[in-house]
Amino acid sequence: MAEAQELVAFCILSMVALPLGVGIGFIVRQGSASNAGMWIAMSCFGAVVALWLAIIVAMPTVFKKNGGENEFEALVIVGLSESAGRSGFFDGVLRVDRVNIWLVGMTSVLSLCAAWYSLFGEGQRVLDYYGWLLVLESGALATFLAESLLVFYVAFEFTLVPLLFIIGMWGGPQRRQAALKFMIYTLAGSLLSLIGIVAVAYGFSGVTGRALTFSISDLLNLSSRGTRLPLELQYWAFLALAVGFGIKVPVIPLHTWLPAAHVEAPTAGSVLLAGVMLKLGAFGLLRMAVPLLPDATRVVGMSVGAVMAAGGIVYGALCAGAQEDIKRLVAYSSISHMGLCVLGLVSGTTLGVTGGVMQMINHGLITGALFILVGCVYTRVHKRNMSELGGLAKVAPRWAGFFVFFCLAGLGLPGLNGFVSELLTIYGTLISARVQWGAFFGLAGIVLSAWYLLTMVMKVCYGETRLPTTASVSDLNKGEFCVLMLLASLCIAIGLFPGYLIQELMPQSRAIAALVSGSSP
């Protein structure tokens, strides 16, 4: 038992430390990459996935015994329940539980895929590029695994730096503006969330009369045992947190950085931006805003928040339908899908919250794959406009097969992963007390997503090709094929066997739902 915990703690620490160390090393060293360098980078990405798998294997043994600390300052606790009499500024650094481990898994897999694709698809062979990708992965993992609010904030903020470099150095022609916009937007958001975080921590210390603690576990425990901040403070703190995280998600109307950043980012950047960065915001809502400020969630989140989320579903979908550039289309579809995710998170039902978390994972896999597919086209023909493509099913059947597949997953075909989270979220919303109307926006999203995704498939894959006859288009190479195959099999696996994942996510969702819908002051 103790060994298992130590093992998990070690794995978690190395998951964050290894990519960070290697990444910084790469960045310092610079220069074009030798084969050895590439091998090191790839094995580093692979090692993180392996560590995650090790944790997954060890998890059942760890969680049989409820919680407990260990000497590595990593904290392994179960759900919302366990934490005993610690206090201090940095109570623990990292925590792993049944929810964030899956987001960690998605991050590690997507990072591997993004790097793999960059190496074998786009042929990017610059050492510091992979360095920044590794640093980004480390930052994202630290955010998901954070135990202290301050660690969360620092890691959340820190992910900006590598992404900024990735967009600013390897992006498209407008990369400077896009990077600047992205930075200012998210920096403003993060400052707001810092205010919110500090307000929450001080608020709880004031209410309980105990020493100041930034430990998420402690705060969650306090909240689940009925400690509530004064309503006034809750509202303001919720507003600060929600706007801060909402920019990252993004919730309309705070989203305009997203299309610009996506269009300019290199493919790996887009994959991680959509797959991982957006989830950081949603994760902030899940971890902090909703369970720590339940009354505010009930009042503000279920009204204003739900309106913005549900509106975002339709808004993003309509915008996606009007796009000509397929990368922008996928970017806007992210807004639509993340709207559904936020709607589930604030619905206050077990199913809704579970669906929201599932949506984070599924959206990451599907959109990541779609960005890779768009990247495959762009590296070959340097075109992304639907009116300039067309007929790709004839020239690149494998590519088209994957493209259709991931579009189907995105539009929620039963049997693939997108459907699971859509069904759970819509179900949860429909049976919720206050946001029932939101379900109809979710259903509208189901129809609209089919509309814009299949229209894209029609224009890009079918018909006669509009590419210049001189363009020779090759089908997917082996590297790209492997990456997409991996993502596709994950989509199928989650789509056909979602039971285990749902069971794992359900307890915490139930606790959060009980907090939000439960006793009001």
Partner 1 sequence: MELAEVAVLGSVLALFLTSAVIAVFPRRWQRWSHIPCVLALFGSSIASLAAIWVGIEREMRIPWRWLDLPGPVTEVVLQFDGFTPWMLGIVNLIAMLVALYSMTYMAGDEGYRRYFSIFTLFVAMMSMLVLVGNLLLLYLFWEGVGLCSYLLIGHYRTQRASTAARKAFLVNRVADVALLIAIILLAWNWGTLNIRDLIEQVTVKREEASATLQIVAVLLVIGAMGKSAQLPFHIWLPDAMEGPTPVSALIHAATMVAAGVYLLIRMLPVLVVSPVALMLGSWVGTVTAVVAGLFAVAEWDLKRVLAYSTISQLGYMFAAVGIAISGESNFAGYVMIFHLITHALFKALLFLCSGNIMHATGGVIDMSRLGGLKNQLGVTHWLFVIGGLSLAGIIPFAGYWSKDEILIGLAKSGGNSGGWVIVMLLGVVGPLLTGLYIGRAYWLTFQGDGAEVPREKDNESLWEVVPPLVLATGAVLAGLVLGPGRVLAGGLGIGLPEEEGVSFVPAVALAFAALGIVSGMMMGRRARGGTPSGWHAWYGVRKAIENGFYFDYVLFHGLGHVLGAMGKAVKLIDEVVIDGGLSAIAAVSYRVGNFIRQIQIGEIGFYAVSIGLGILVIWATLLLTFGMQ
**CA 311 to chain CA centroid, nearest Å:** 20
Taking the complex as a whole, how short is the minimal distance between the CB of residue 451 and partner 1, in angstroms? 6
Give 151-156's long-range contacts (Cβ < 8 A, gap of 24+). 151/90, 151/93, 151/94, 152/197, 152/216, 152/284, 152/287, 152/288, 153/190, 153/193, 153/194, 153/197, 156/190, 156/193, 156/280, 156/284
- Give min distance, CB of 119 to partner 1, in A: 27
* Shortest CB 314 distance to partner 1, Å: 9
394 binds partner 1 per the rule CB under 8 A: yes
Among 113, 430, 491, 511, binds partner 1 (CB under 8 A): 430
Q: Is 150 in the site for partner 1 (CB under 8 A)?
A: no
Looking at residue 304, what DSSP letter applies? I
Residue 274 makes CB contacts below 8 A (sequence gap 6+) with 262, 330, 331, 334, 363, 364, 367, 368, 371
Q: Which is nearer to partner 1, 140 or 329 (CB)?
A: 329
One-letter amino acid at 139 equals G
Give dist(CA 121, CA 380) in Å, integer.
10
Separation CA 376–CA 480 (nearest Å): 8
Subset of residues 230 to 269 that bind partner 1, contact rule: CB under 8 A: 252-253, 255-256
Instruction: Report in angstroms how near the CB of residue 204 gets to partner 1 at its nearest.
Output: 31
Q: Which of 186, 195, 296, 292 is nearest to 247 (CA)?
A: 186
**d(C-alpha 152, C-alpha 241), whole Å:** 13
Q: How far is the CB of 386 from partner 1 (least distance, A)?
A: 13
Closest to partner 1 by CB, 170 vs 315, is 315
Give the ranges where 30-159 is alpha helix by DSSP (H). Answer: 35-64, 100-120, 127-145, 149-158
Sketch the per residue contact string, 166 through 185, with partner 1: x for CB under 8 A, - otherwise. ------------------x-
Q: Does 3 bind partner 1 (CB under 8 A)?
A: no
Please state, in angstroms and rounded to a whole number, the distance separating the CA atoms of residues 335 and 322. 14
Shortest approach of partner 1 to residue 334 CB, angstroms?
A: 14
Query: Would you count residue 55 as binding partner 1 (CB under 8 A)?
Result: no
Nearest CB to partner 1, comparing residues 65 and 466 = 466
Shortest reach from residue 243's CB to partner 1, in Å: 14
Instruction: Work out which of 126, 443, 486, 493 binds partner 1, going by CB under 8 A.
Output: 443
Q: Of residues 7, 13, 161, 450, which one binds partner 1 by CB under 8 A? A: 450
Residues 281-320, interacting with partner 1 (CB under 8 A):
315, 318-320
Check the CA dihedral 241-244-246-248 and report its sign.
Answer: negative
Site for partner 1, rule CB under 8 A: 184, 252-253, 255-256, 315, 318-323, 350-351, 391, 393-394, 408, 413-415, 420, 423-424, 426-427, 430-431, 443, 446-448, 450-451, 454-455, 457-458, 461-464, 496, 498-499, 502-503, 506
